[in-house]
Structure 1
C-alpha cells in the first residue's frame, strides 16, 4: 500500500542527509504508487480524430422566388397547391381580366381612329401639293399673284405638319396598345422558374392591389439543392475559411449525416441576444426531398483531422505543465500508477491526440476525487 511504501523510519541523520533523503522519497511516492482502490482506466488506441467547430444552422432552398401579380383585381383561379411541382412558364393563377381586356379594346379603337385621321391628313397633303403646283404653273404665266404661290406653299407645309402630328400620335397609341396587351398578359400568372410550390399567400376570390407593390400570390423554391446557413460564434470565426469540410444532421430522427464544403463565410455578423454570430454557408444535394425549408441543422465544421493517431479521452489529462504539455497518470503492468508528461495535438469534445509520451495499448487513469483535472 502507498502508506506502507512511504512510511519513514525515524533515523538520526545530519540535516543535509535528511533533506536529500526526503526529496528522493517524495519523488518516488508521487511518480510511482500502488493504488489502494480500483481505478477507472482507458486504453491508448489508434483512430482518426477530428477537431471541429459546432454550430446551429437553418436549411433554405438554394433558390426561392416570390410569385406576384402586376395586375390588380380578383384572383379568379388558383391552379396549384403547396407541394406541387411546376415547370417554368406554367400557368399557376389567373386574375380577373375584364378591365384589362376593355383597356386593350379602347387602345385598339383609338389606334384605328388615328389611322383614319392619317388617311385624311395624307389626302390634305396631296390636295395642298396639287394646289401649289397649279399656282406655280399659273404664276409662270402671270395668271396669279406671287402671294398665291406663297399661300399654297404655306398650306402644304401646314398639312405636312398635321400629318406628322398624326404619325406621332399613332406611334404613341401603338405604345398604349402594347402596354394594354402586357397588362392583359399580367392577369395570367406564370411560373418564373421550375420548382416546388412551398407556400400560397392568396386564395381564390381575394382581391389583389398592385398599385404600390407587387402582391405575393405564392412561393416557388428549388428544393433539389439546399443551402445550410450555420451560425458560427464570434470566437471561432477566425478559424473558418472557404473549402473546409462541413457536415450536419437534422432533428427529424433519421440520423442521416449530410456533408459538403463551406462555400461562403459572410463578413457581416448577426447580433443575437448580445452575442455576435457569422453565417457560414454550404450546399447539399436533396435528391429525395428529405430536407425541407427552415429545418434546424446541427452543424460540425471540421478544422483539422489526424488519421491513425494515438488517442486518449480528453478527461484523462491532468495539470498543464511548461512547454504546453500535460500530466497523465498511467497504470503500469505491475498495477502501479505513474505520472507522465505528454504532448498533445488536436482534440474534439471527447478525445485528444497524443503526439508523444504514451504508446498504443497503455492504460491511462481517468480522474477520480483525488486526481487533479485540467484547469
Structure 2
C-alpha cells in the first residue's frame, strides 16, 4: 500500500515538472517567435487515405462484377432458350423420283443390214445359173445367164434402122449443100432451099433416135447376165434352167443379203419412247442361246409413234462377223438405259389438307412456304406429286396444322448413318 502511494506521488510530480503546470491546470499558449522570411505550409492529408479509397473502389467493383455477370449471363441464356422454344424444329425431305422398274426388254426382229431381191430386166429363158443357196458372192459376180432371142432380133433390127437413117441423113446433107449453091446462083427460090435444109435436120434427128434405140437394146442384152450388186450371201434362189423369165412381172430370181452386221427392229412403248435415244447401248439375247449376250446399239428411231400401236419403231445394230446370228430370226432386246418418266414422290405424312386443296410445307430461308400440289397415284405411304414441287425443294415431313406462310422454323440436322459415322471417326 505504501509502495503504491509512493509510485503515484512520483508519477504526478514528473508530469507537473514536464508540463510546468500543476495537475488540473490548463496549459497556456506559448508565443512563437516571429520569423517574417519563413512561409508557413498548410497541413497535408496523409497518403494512406487515398490508397484506402482506391482499395475500397476495387472491392466494390469486383463485388458488382461477380454478382452481376452471372445474372446477365443467365438472363441472356433464358432469352435464347425462349426464342429457341418459340421456333419449331422440323425435319425435311426432298421429293424423289419413283423407284425405277426393271430395264425394258422387248422382242425384236433381226434383218440383214443390206438385203436386195434380184429381178430380171430382160425377157428370156434361163440358160444357166452359177450360184446356189447359201453361197458367198462378191459384187459384180455372175449369178445366172438368160437366153434372150427376141431382144437379139430387136437389136439387129435397130442396127439396120440406124444404118438406114445414117444413109438418109447423108443424102439429105448432100442435097442441102447443092440447093444452097443454087440459091446463091438464084436458080431456085429461098423457100425450096430452106425445105432441103430442114429435111437434113430431120434426118439427123432420126439418126440420133435410131442410135439411142440401139444403145437401149444393147443394155437389155447385157441384162441377160444377172450379177451380184454387192458382197453378201445368197439367201433365196427361185430360178432353174429353161425357166421363162419376164421383166416387170415381179418374179424374184435371187435374194442377196449382207449379214456381217444385222439390224434389230423393236417397237418401244410410248412411256419409254422419250428415254430411248440414238447411241444408247442395248443387249441382244436369242431364245436358243439365253446365256449368251450380244452387244447392240440404237442407231436410229422413227421419230414418231405408230398411230395404230402407239409405239416407237427403233432400229439397233449388232455385229455378226462369224455369222452366228441368223438373219430373219427374233430375239430379246434389253434397253438398259430406257426407263419410263417417273413422277416425283413424297411420303403421305407431308400432306396438309385444307380448303384450298392438298398442300405441302416447303422450307425456304428457314421460313415456311405452303404450296398447292397435284396428286397422282396413291401407293399408301408414298404418293406421286405431279406438280407444285421440284426435286430441289425441302418439304417438311410431318407439318403442323398451325403452319402458315412465313413462319420461322429451324431445320433439324439429319441423323448420320453408320457409314458416315465411320468416315467421321477416320
Decide: shared fold, TM above 0.5.
Answer: yes
How many Å separate the matches in 2 of 1:89 and 1:261?
31
Greater RCO structure (CA 8 Å; 6+ sep): 1
Partner SS, residue 119 of structure 1: helix
What do the CA deviations read for 1:175-222 (whole angstroms, capped 9, x no partner)?
A: 1111111111122222111111111233333222224x5532111111
Partner residue, 1:344: none
Contact 2:284 2:296 in 1 (8 A): no
Partner residue, 2:163: 112
CA apart distance, 1:269: 4.4
Unmatched runs of 5 consecutive residues or more in structure 2: 1-99, 340-378, 385-414, 420-426
CA apart distance, 1:258: 0.3
What do the CA deviations read for 1:266-298 (whole angstroms, capped 9, x no partner)?
A: 244458xx8544332211111101111111211
Partner SS, residue 239 of structure 1: coil
Contact 1:51 1:304 in 2 (8 A): no
What do the CA deviations read for 1:323-352 (whole angstroms, capped 9, x no partner)?
A: 79xxxxxxxxxxxxxxxxxxxxxxxxxxxx
Q: Residue 248 of structure 1 is aligned with which of 277, 284, 301?
A: 284
How many Å separate the matches in 1 of 2:268 and 2:288?
22
1:206 aligns with 2:243: yes
TM-score by length of 1: 0.59
Which contiguous aligned blocks of 4+ residues in structure 1 show a shift greater than 6 angstroms?
356-360
Q: Residue 97 of structure 1 is aligned with which of 138, 143, 148?
A: 148
CA RMSD after TM alignment: 3.1
Contact 2:236 2:256 in 1 (8 A): yes
Partner residue, 1:220: 256
Partner residue, 1:285: 319
TM-score by length of 2: 0.53
Unmatched runs of 5 consecutive residues or more in structure 1: 1-48, 137-148, 306-318, 325-355, 361-375
Partner SS, residue 337 of structure 2: strand
**Greater Cα radius of gyration, structure 1 or 2:** 2
1:86 aligns with 2:123: no
From the two aligned structures, give the one with the greater strand fraction. 1
Aligned residues: 251
CA apart distance, 1:240: 2.0
1:1-375 matches, cutoff 5 A: 51-133=102-184, 136=185, 149=186, 151=188, 153-211=190-248, 214-253=250-289, 255-269=291-305, 276-303=310-337, 321-322=381-382
